[in-house]
Amino acid sequence: MEIATGILLGIGLAASSGFRVFLPLLVTSIASQLGYLHLSPGFEWMGSWIALTSFATATVAEITAYYIPWLDNALDTISGPLAMVAGTVLTASFITDVNPLVQWTLGIIVGGGTAGIVKVGASAARLTSTATTGGLGNAAVATSENILSFAMSILAFVIPLITALIVIAIIVYLFRKFSELKKKKWKFFRKEKEIEEIYEDT
């Protein structure tokens, strides 16, 4: 597989990992089983029946857990690093015919970085839902994440370029949102300091 195609696939699947850790691994395992793709040397285990069964079980458990009110936010803490690992492994598994150092460096930067950013955005959406609805809206957030993870996993194989462009647009949007929030917090902090100074002067 060409490096460019591998990176595009990795971006789409890594973003999918940011929503659900094991679902893109399951889709990749199924695609390998069907002969739709050939994994890089050393990653053939992802296409084995044992891996398929393990990913399927983990996927069902993960999806179910996100519908348990108190467990969903706790899972975000654990699944954050796992999403980055999954994104790294998935991206590296599609990059062939390169030095292992380059392979894993691209896997970490492209795959791990993408998965991490998307995961932060998803976690922020769940925390907002918890704060504004008392957790009642978290089920809708979880359902949206499931759909996005599955859709992006499929589209990454069917139209990798377009999927990668969509992911990049999502990342740019998240960066802008985080930047706006940071500016608002800074302005709020400055106002508090000004008020404190006024009270001190009086």
Task: Provide mean pLDDT across the span 33-62.
Answer: 91
> In 10 A of CB 29, how many CB atoms?
24
- Distance separating alpha carbons of residues 126 and 106, to the nearest angstrom: 29
Residues of 177-186 as b/e, b for ≥16 C-beta within 10 angstroms?
eeeeeeeeee
Domain boundaries, the chain: 3-201
Answer with the residue of higher pLDDT: 40 or 119: 119
* CB contact at 8 A, 16 and 70: no
pLDDT at 88: 95
Under the banding of pLDDT at 50, 70 and 90, the label for residue 87 is: very high
pLDDT at 186: 59
pLDDT at 35: 86
From the list 11, 48, 6, the residue with the least C-alpha distance to 30 is 48
pLDDT at 164 > cutoff 70: yes
Q: Where are the beta strands (DSSP E) in the chain?
A: none
pTM equals 0.83
Task: Provide mean pLDDT across the span 113-135.
Answer: 89
pLDDT at 169 > cutoff 60: yes
Q: What does the chain come to in residues?
A: 202
